[in-house]
Structure 1
């Protein structure tokens, strides 16, 4: 489905199919065009709440309570380039701001102790107590190895996969909590890797709450085999190769 057609579906009259309850909007973090597209989607969707990968619950609560503090909360999060994310916040309307970023100390403990041990009592609900299928684990290790410029030992990538699973489950849990509290539709702002339908946020929502409907849109810079419900190619943003200067062993 084309993005324009999808957005038109979100504005159907009363009595029509209400559409997905949770819409996951992927992004390339440093690409301004991705955030402009996400903002357009939010304006059409008019969500009750928007879950941000980038903000902790505490940071988001401050921004939600006083919208004049959004930029300060963003700076406190450690994420850069607030200016390119500003269109998203301008498009929020009355949507509540929800933070889903995992605390850094929790992420470090996941790497050491595993996702299920740190996630807590709901680990089983999100499938974190289960080993990944061998083929999926191998594919995810390959992706992590490439994402880290092949500059770290390959045997460390299993821990990176555990962290990604933990973060995906954290984002999914926050989206489901927002849906329960504020009602549909809920939007999620996150990286494309977390928006993929095979093992990202949509898959974990399906695991934890199969009755909840989702729709994942990937805004990508090139044609890709990464699975989304919709894929839209945007112009690449100029950037230095992030692997430049790294020593590869």
Structure 2
């Protein structure tokens, strides 16, 4: 019930405004900044770098890095290739590191944290309760609470659409649970980064994870209601209505091959 009440309270952000990239130069002050992206869109990463240059974070949390990868981040580096090698980026399945390099360049002194869920941990939620799989306190981050039937159905529909309607229906509940696990882990690591460094903390993740209603910002608000945050979403062509973030940027779609071709 506590989780459902919180989600209802956060269904819409207190302020919601579409901005141009220059609006990233003067975001409101906060402890944490969630900066969403479409992963393979180069302009989205340049926008994140622009925001980071203005925020001057003490720490950055990445959905793309595991804890072990982040621990290997060097204090200094000579090139994009050198940093990518230190982080063992190649072969992870994420877009080319050169897209992400401007983010690191924008805050070279920031401490790097990884919030990626390893594959074996993600697979475990199909066999075990998510509260047992999560590395933190499941109650604090809302993982002990079931979703309402309406939200469960909505999230399963979104998972089906994201996977080109090619997944067997019986896998969809597990996919929703994995998403909840990822959101909670982003929030858990963000809270730790804030505690370690004093902030501000920037979180780099997909725009689907920065929804105020049920993404990582909601999990962080549940666990640490005193922590202030600003949420920026980035979308292609159009943003959702109603808004799910405090601010958002809309760009043209990046050129890419048909993402559904792999499912055919």
1:204 aligns with 2:222: no
Question: Is 1:57 aligned to 2:67, yes or no?
Answer: yes
Structure 1, unpaired ranges of 5+: 11-18
- The structure-2 alpha-carbon separation of the partners of 1:147 and 1:163, relative to structure 1 and needing over 3 Å to count, comes to same
Aligned counterpart for 1:112 among listed residues 124, 127, 133: 127
Alignment of 1:125-136 (within 5 A): 125-136=140-151
Moved more, 110-119 or 130-139: 110-119
Structure number with greater CO (CA < 8 Å, separation at least 6) is 2
What is the CA distance between 1:236 and its match in structure 2? 1.2
What is the CA deviation profile of residues 135-156 of structure 1, one whole-angstrom value per residue up to 9, with x for unaligned ones?
A: 1111100000111111111221
- Aligned position for 2:98: 83
Matches within 5 A, 1:19-30: 19-30=29-40
CA–CA distance in structure 2, aligned partners of residues 9 and 164 of structure 1: 28
Q: Residue 171 of structure 1: CA displacement?
A: 0.6
Measured on the aligned residues, the alpha-carbon RMSD in Å equals 1.7
Q: Give the CA deviation at 1:7.
A: 2.9
For structure 2, list consecutive stretches of 5 or more residues without a partner in the other structure.
1-16
What's the counterpart of residue 153 of structure 1?
168
Paired residue total: 239
Deviation at 1:92, TM superposition (A): 1.6
| TM-score normalised by L of structure 1 | 0.90
- Evaluate the alpha carbon distance shift between residue 62 and residue 76 of structure 1 in structure 2; reply closer, same or farther with a 3 A threshold: farther
Q: Distance in 1 between matches of 2:70 and 2:37?
A: 19
Q: What is aligned with 1:234?
A: 251
Shift of 1:83: 1.1
Contact between 1:46 and 1:93, CA under 8 Å: does it hold in 2?
no
> 1:198 aligns to what SS in structure 2?
coil
Give the corresponding residue for 1:124. Answer: 139
Among 25, 47, 50, which residue is 2:57 paired with? 47
- Following TM superposition, by how much is the alpha carbon of 1:202 offset from its aligned partner in structure 2, in angstroms? 0.5
Query: What CA distance in whole angstroms lies between the structure 1 residues aligned with 2:47 and 2:258?
Result: 24
Partner of 1:70: 83
TM-score after normalising by structure 2: 0.85
Number of the residue aligned with 1:178: 193
How far off its partner does 1:76 sit? Answer: 5.7
Indicate if the aligned counterparts of 2:39 and 2:95 stay in contact, CA closer than 8 A. Answer: no
**Kept in 1: contact 2:67–2:114 (CA 8 A):** yes
User: What SS is found at the alignment partner of 2:234?
Assistant: strand
1:172-224, CA deviations, whole angstroms, 9 ceiling, x for partnerless residues? 10000000000121000000100111100110011111111111101111212
Matches within 5 A, 1:185-224: 185-224=200-239
